[in-house]
Amino acid sequence: MRVFRSLFGFVALILSGLFAASHADIYMYTDKNGNKYFSERKENENYTLLLRSDTNKKPHSFRNWKAKSYTNISIPRDKTLQRKYHPIILKAAEKNQLDPAFLHAVITAESAYQRYAVSSAGAQGLMQLMPETAKRFSVTDSFDPIQNIYAGALYLKILLKEFKTRELAAAAYNAGEGAVRRYKRQIPPYPETQKYVSKVLTFYQYYQHNL
């Protein structure tokens, strides 16, 4: 499991991913520090069942599901990187009819403005684009802030158009569009997705008054 640490010294953010087979159950273990570990089988008594395979019958259903610990994600105290990327965020938001505060909120939750953030699932850059997502939006370099932010903004625009609310758009950005559809356009009952949505909305409210 790769751990991504911010440059601001706040608690480490666990970035992990699952490439499970279509018929695998998913188990989770949380250690005393709040770090989360995932497995296709019950490794020991500390692992609890998170998802059964019958909740998602599409082959490779967990391929794009990024399991993260969002509990300790914070808005960086040092605003240097936020200010650095703010002009790009403003332009991307304007182009895609997004509230810049929402785009800032997603970037904070995904990478805390770390351009070279990489999850063990392969998500990259400021908005943690999966390779499939990067390809979908013609991104040639996910570490290029302009390409990354514009692609992430376009994706959020598409999600907002389909799901109508920021809550569901954030849930789909985290857990995948298919997951939100399967759960009848409600936030999927994945603990990490629920934490993620809560964080994004909290950040959004903050950035509405602090940009």
Which residues are tagged catalytic?
A: 110
Q: Which residues contact 189 (CB under 8 A, 6 or more apart)?
A: 183
CA distance 89 to 194: 25
Question: Contact at 8 Å (CB) between 201 and 167?
Answer: yes
Q: CA distances (Å), 81 to each of 49, 71, 141, 187, in order?
A: 38, 22, 19, 30
Residue 140, number of CB atoms within 10 A of its CB: 8
- 3-state SS, residue 115: coil
Phi, psi angles (nearest 5°) of residue 27: -110, 150
Pairing between β-strand 13-17 and β-strand 48-51 as defined by DSSP bridges:
unpaired
Amino acid identity of 26? I
Amino acid identity of 96? N
Nearest to 109 by CA among 15, 3, 209, 9: 15
